[in-house]
Chains A and B, each alone.
Chain A
């Protein structure tokens, strides 16, 4: 399960729309091993591409420091699919860096956009429930 405050969910969607026609990507921070998204950190896509992304590593460093300063950790990544479903692509699975992370997909294929979250462990995709809250 991923507890995702509505404002953070909207921040991901806004970022995805802002970066069209390219894919947008960013990091989510929260308590280590927790289910809660406490902060969203939009990052640059070094590929500037509508079909692939490489998250800018200096943006990662800054997000990591910001999370540490608040006693949190980077616990996941979000990125957009501009014309396909909110489901991890083979590339997403192949490059998934951390089995402990949440992998959030924002699909702009639909209006309104769709946000879903997954775990990716040893190449296996498991969807997790996204609970959108007010906090």
Chain B
């Protein structure tokens, strides 16, 4: 199912400078797999080699933090907007 994936500025260099890309999948994990197929430089930037979401990103499906709805297993529907945001923290 086609969805829009919004990329943070720090990752756009790995996707030809685009601020958002289209991708297909029935779950968040499948959508990210598709993005890496399209833009191999994004490999390892959002999903760890162990297959989990990186702790330094937050991912939203529309207005929902995907960590609370199944993380990479969270289902997506046509025209959902997936937003990848850097985790911002400090001291």
Contacts and interface: CB of A to CB of B under 8 A. Distances in A.
Interface in B77-91: 83, 85-91
A102 B60 CA distance: 24
Interface string A22-51: 010101000010000000000000010001
Contact of B90 (A60, A92, A100): A92
Q: How large is the interface on B (under 10, 10 to 19, 20 to 34, 35 or more residues)?
A: 10 to 19
- Determine chain A's interface SS by DSSP, over half rule: mixed
A60 B85 CA distance: 8
Contacts of A73: 9, 19
A133 interface: no
Contacts of A96: 90
A79 interface: yes
A29 to B, nearest CB: 11
Interface centre among A52, A91, A97, A98 (most CB of B within 10 A): A97
A64 to B, nearest CB: 7
Interface string B59-81: 01001010000000000000000
Interface centre among B6, B83, B91 (most CB of A within 10 A): B91
B26 interface: no
Contacts of B87: 54-55, 57, 95, 97
Given A73-B9, A74-B9, A98-B9, A58 B90 contact: no
Q: Which of B9, B88, B89, B90 has the most CB of A within 10 A?
A: B90
Contact of B88 (A60, A75, A90): A60
